[in-house]
């Protein structure tokens, strides 16, 4: 059974700092790895999806990498802004289309 872990559970940084969020998974037989953003009390917004054959994906200030062999993914946020404050969830897709989520990293960017 796939297990997904995210470290740290919470992170507080000053505005402008570059930061890295970590995601690890136990079963490397994944279709893809997806990063989501969740604002308090809201649904999930997809940020980046990395297919199993890819090493990384970029969108604006976000860069996600995938290392299947070690069971790790990272989300890099450049020049963080207060508007980036949210919970970031990673999810691996295995066994058909099932998404297994981590419990998220709660990010606070202080002005």
Partner 1 sequence: DAMVIQNPRYQVTQFGKPVTLSCSQTLNHNVMYWYQQKSSQAPKLLFHYYDKDFNNEADTPDNFQSRRPNTSFCFLDIRSPGLGDAAMYLCATSRDWGGNEQYFGPGTRLTVT
Supply the minimum distance, in Å, between the C-beta of residue 104 and partner 1.
Answer: 7
Nearer to partner 1, 32 or 63 (CB): 32
Cα–Cα distance for residue pair 90/21, rounded to 1 Å: 10
Could you say whether residue 93 binds partner 1 (CB under 8 A)? Answer: yes
Q: How far is the CB of 90 from partner 1 (least distance, A)?
A: 10
Could you tell me which of 31, 36, 32 has the C-alpha nearest to residue 21?
36
3-state class (DSSP) for residue 83: helix
Of 47, 77, 99, 109, the one binding partner 1 (CB under 8 A) is 99
Residue 104 touches partner 1, criterion: CB under 8 A: yes
Pairwise CA distance, residues 61 & 84, whole Å: 10
User: How wide is the angle at C-alpha 44 spanned by C-alphas 43 and 45, nearest 5°?
Assistant: 125
Where on the chain is the footprint of partner 1 (CB under 8 A)? 4, 31-32, 34, 36, 41-46, 49, 51-52, 89, 91, 93, 96-104
């Amino acid at each position: 059974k796939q297990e997904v872990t995210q470290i740290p559970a919470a992170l507080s940084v000053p505005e402008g700092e570059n930061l890295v969020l970590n995601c690890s998974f136990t079963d490397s037989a994944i279709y893809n790895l997806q990063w989501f953003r969740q604002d308090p009390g809201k649904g999930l917004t997809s940020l980046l999806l990395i297919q199993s054959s890819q090493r990384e994906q970029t969108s604006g200030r976000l860069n996600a990498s995938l290392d299947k062999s070690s069971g790790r993914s990272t989300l890099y946020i450049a020049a963080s802004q207060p508007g980036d404050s949210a919970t970031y969830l990673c999810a691996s897709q295995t066994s058909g289309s099932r998404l297994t989520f981590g419990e998220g990293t709660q990010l606070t960017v202080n002005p």
